[in-house]
């Protein structure tokens, strides 16, 4: 005697539902996010006129951002570029910006609503802005390591590197709820 077709069908449906659910949960932990089309440069005002700028957008609640912050602290600010770290903070928590400041970075905290108003949906996000104010690069840091220095060298020499995907964490409570409705991550 074998298993009835109703039981087989139920097992197949249960397997499919569990597989889709597990895949959705796993995808919510690291996924590519849209690259902002609006000018996020306005979030990082204060650079001397006519200077190269780098804007690093990180979030307090993002492990990927924490690792990028550690990388930035270890390498220190680059010569020839005014670097700002924008920290998207949670309502009640903030990142200690002291080590970043001591490493030569300008640090500014912004609320998630400010960041999302400029089109930021995911972090960590890197932007290089040329002395004439145009975006020379906007994208991620790289999946296998940190490509920010290599990208800097490319844009500094007039090249236009292809944007790397922004792989990390969602910014903004509304997007976080859409991606992770069960609050497993956010």
In CATH, what number is assigned to the domain containing residue 143? 3.40.30.10
Structural domains counted in the chain? 1
Asked if the structure places residue 22 within a domain, the reply is no
Tokens of 12: 């197949």
Asked if the structure places residue 156 within a domain, the reply is yes
Q: Residue 151 belongs to what domain range? A: 32-179
pLDDT in tens, 166-183: 888 888 777 667 666 666
| Residues of the chain with confidence (pLDDT) below 50 | 28-30
Asked if the structure places residue 149 within a domain, the reply is yes
Token pair 């020839």 is at which residue?
Answer: 80
Asked if the structure places residue 185 within a domain, the reply is no
Asked if the structure places residue 17 within a domain, the reply is no
Pairwise CA distance, residues 169 & 59, whole Å? 8
The pTM assigned to this predicted structure is 0.77
pLDDT in tens, 88-117: 886 655 566 788 999 999 999 888 888 888
Among candidate residues 114, 119, 48, 51, the one with its CA nearest the CA of residue 87: 114
Asked if the structure places residue 21 within a domain, the reply is no
User: What CA–CA distances, in Å, run from 1 to 4, 5, 7, 9, 72?
Assistant: 9, 12, 13, 17, 65
Asked if the structure places residue 7 within a domain, the reply is no
Asked if the structure places residue 80 within a domain, the reply is yes
């Amino acid at each position: 005697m074998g298993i009835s077709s109703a039981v087989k069908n139920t097992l197949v449906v249960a397997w499919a539902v569990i597989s889709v659910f597990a895949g959705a949960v796993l995808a919510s932990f690291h996924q590519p996010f849209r690259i902002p089309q609006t000018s996020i440069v306005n979030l990082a005002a204060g650079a001397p006129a006519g200077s190269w700028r780098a804007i690093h957008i990180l979030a307090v609640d993002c492990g990927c951002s924490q690792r990028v912050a550690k990388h930035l602290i270890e390498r220190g600010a680059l010569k020839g570029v005014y670097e700002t770290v924008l920290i998207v903070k949670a309502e009640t928590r903030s990142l200690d910006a002291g080590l970043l400041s001591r490493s030569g970075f300008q640090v500014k905290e912004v609320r998630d609503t400010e960041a999302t108003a400029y089109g930021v949906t995911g972090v960590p996000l890197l932007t290089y802005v040329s002395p004439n104010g145009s975006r020379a690069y906007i994208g991620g840091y790289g999946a296998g390591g940190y490509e920010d220095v290599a990208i800097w060298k490319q844009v500094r020499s007039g090249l236009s590197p292809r944007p790397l995907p922004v792989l990390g964490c969602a910014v903004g409570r509304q997007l976080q709820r859409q991606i992770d409705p069960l609050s497993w991550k956010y």
